[in-house]
Amino acid sequence: MISDAGKLYLVSKEFNWFNNRSVDSKLIQKSIYILQIIGLDTRHFYGWYTTGPYSSDLSKDIFDVSYNIDYYSNEIKNFELSDNAKEVICKFQRIFVFNMYNDLLLEFVASMIFLKKYYPNYSDAKIIRKLKEQKPKFKDRSYDCYFNAALIRVNNVLNVGKHDSNVSKSLV
């Protein structure tokens, strides 16, 4: 049986999240949240935090893996991602092409998805206003380009997730 932290490490191999000693936990938090929306079953519960959707259980797993790489490398030796999990990861990677994969864009996208799920009847404009209320730093006009890039990806993620909503993609 593989632990939740082991599953995280298995997924991380597709993204190189733990390849150096500086781990970007915000990027991992937002990526896993979006992967869950698309259909990957990681069983993490998310609530709202200062940088958007946040899972304390996932945070513990990130910390554990980052300090015990050798242990988790050994744990996952006999496991591989399921074909369904690989499919979800490919969908994520198509939505977030290499040059657009950064923690700020992921923060925008994950936060907007979270708010859209919480306020399903809100228009995109109202979601953006709500996001600016929740995160005053985004009121600065220099962030406007991120809203446009994020909206495109939010709709892509939600459309992909909608088609796969009845199918839970197990990790292993």
The answer to whether residue 107 sits within a structural domain is yes
pLDDT of residue 166: 45
Write the burial class of residue 145 (CB in 10 Å: 0-12 exposed, 13-18 middle, 19+ buried).
Answer: exposed
Number of domains in the chain: 1
Q: Kindly report, residue by residue over 40-51, the tens digit of the pLDDT.
A: 988 899 999 988
- C-alpha 156/C-alpha 153 separation (Å) is 5
Question: What pLDDT band is residue 61 in, cutting at 50, 70 and 90?
Answer: very high
The answer to whether residue 86 sits within a structural domain is yes
Q: Kindly report, residue by residue over 83-136, the tens digit of the pLDDT.
A: 999 999 999 988 887 555 577 888 889 999 999 999 999 999 999 889 888 888
Beta bridge partners of 54: 47
User: CA distances (Å), 79 to each of 2, 63, 172, in order?
Assistant: 8, 21, 7
Residue bearing tokens 């937002």: 30
- Taking the model in full, what pTM does it have? 0.88
Q: Is the pLDDT of residue 19 over 90?
A: no
Range of the domain at 20: 4-163
- Hey, what are 19's tokens? 């390849």
